[in-house]
Amino acid sequence: DVKVTQSSRYLVKRTGEKVFLECVQDMDHENMFWYRQDPGLGLRLIYFSYDVKMKEKGDIPEGYSVSREKKERFSLILESASTNQTSMYLCASIRQGTDTQYFGPGTRLTVL
- Considering the complex, state which of residue 17 and residue 59 has its C-beta at the smaller distance from other proteins: 59
The region of 12-20, 45-53, 60-68, 77-85 touching other proteins under the rule CB under 8 A is 45-53
61 binding other proteins? (CB under 8 A): no
**Given 67, 72, 102, 110, the residue binding other proteins (CB under 8 A):** 102
Distance CA 38, CA 90 (A): 11
**Is 67 an interacting residue with respect to other proteins (CB under 8 A)?**
no
Eight-state DSSP code of residue 27: S
Q: Where are the beta strands (DSSP E) in the chain?
A: 4-6, 10-13, 19-25, 31-38, 42-49, 56-57, 64-70, 73-78, 87-94, 102-103, 107-111
List 59, 65, 70, 79, residue binding other proteins (CB under 8 A): 59
Binding of other proteins by 91 (CB under 8 A): no
Contact of 21 with 35, CB cutoff 8 Å: no
Among candidates 57, 56, 7, 52, which has minimal Cα distance to 30?
A: 52
- 71 binding other proteins? (CB under 8 A): no
Three-class secondary structure of residue 99 per DSSP: coil
Give the footprint of other proteins on this chain (CB under 8 A).
Answer: 9, 31, 33, 35, 37, 40-45, 48, 50, 58-59, 88, 90, 92, 94, 96, 99-106, 108
